[in-house]
Amino acid sequence: MLDLHCHMLPGVDDGAPDLESALAIARAMVALGYTHVAPSPHTGGGVGGDVSTATNETTRELLGRALVDAGIGLTLLANAEHCVGPILFDRLPRGATCIGRDSRWLLVELPWERVPQPEQLLFRLQTKGYRLLLAHPERYSYIDLATVERLVERGVRMQVELGSFVDVYGDRARGRAEKMVEKGLVHVLASDIHRPKQALEWLGPALAAVRDLYGEAALRRATHENPNAIVKDATATALEPMTSS
């Protein structure tokens, strides 16, 4: 399995506070079947922080070496969680960290507080040549299912939180996550883990819940096939949504 949304880089954002925590997250994820993680530190000045590209890269290399030293079989790939806003647009001419080394896919999050015309913001990013994976669409208060449908029609792909299926983000997020699967609007499931406790307490039950609800093939599509296709720079239309089997 490949996780495309995870705050395990030590000491850079609101995720793992130190190397010990990062290694604990890694151990828990390997035990659940993950072989690859693309850690996604917050960047662009949202509530989670603004980690520079240089800090992202050096910290990923540091953690990669620590994983080898600790004998933990987890491979790290490039990634960042970009908050969509003026800071991101200002920096884009100098490039942005995409998912994996050679893709044009960006993991993006919208601000938690309502922004005017969120769809236009995302489409503007697409016109700059990026493919978009939108983080946790089920959790924004101001994004409804109709908006998600329009975004998917326009080529934005959806990353829903594994924790949403076990009520980590409340009833509304759970209901919307389930509705999105029913409507064929979910392409990737990711952990968005910030602390070892989460990886140990609910990540396993969340994977089991998705397997029970939708079957092994659906879980595999959203945690393995589609994430790997994104790393290989597949087009948005090449990604099949997860469906119930």
Q: How far is the CB of 243 from Fe ion (least distance, A)?
A: 25
Judged by CB, which is closer to Fe ion: 40, or 68?
40
CB 123 within 8 A of CB 108: no
Interface stretch with Fe ion, choices 31-39, 50-58, 161-169, 187-195 (CB under 5 A):
187-195
Judged by CB, which is closer to Fe ion: 26, or 150?
26
Query: Interaction with Fe ion in 128-147: which residues (CB under 5 A)?
Result: none
Tell which residue, 219, 14, 52, 125, has the closest CA to residue 134: 125
Q: For residues 9 and 27, what is the distance between their CA atoms, to the nearest angstrom?
A: 14
Q: How far is the CB of 190 from Fe ion (least distance, A)?
A: 8
- In angstroms, how far apart are the furthest CA atoms of the chain? 48
End-to-end CA distance of the chain: 19
Question: Of 192, 196, 207, 239, which one interacts with Fe ion (CB under 5 A)?
Answer: 192
Tell which residue, 33, 24, 127, 125, has the closest CA to residue 82: 125
Judged by CB, which is closer to Fe ion: 55, or 243?
55
Judged by CB, which is closer to Fe ion: 81, or 178?
81
Judged by CB, which is closer to Fe ion: 4, or 151?
4
Interface stretch with Fe ion, choices 92-100, 111-119, 156-164, 188-196 (CB under 5 A):
188-196
Q: How far is the CB of 109 from Fe ion (least distance, A)?
A: 6
The residues, any chain, with a CB within 8 Å of residue 90's CB and separated by 6 or more, are none
Which run of H or of E encompasses 208? helix 203-214
Site string for Fe ion, 55-84 (x = CB under 5 A): --------------------------x---
Q: How far is the CB of 177 from Fe ion (least distance, A)?
A: 16
Any idea of the CA torsion for 95, 101, 104, 105, to the nearest 10 degrees? -110
Beta-bridge mates of residue 49: 46
In the complex, the residues that contact Fe ion under the rule CB under 5 A are 81, 192
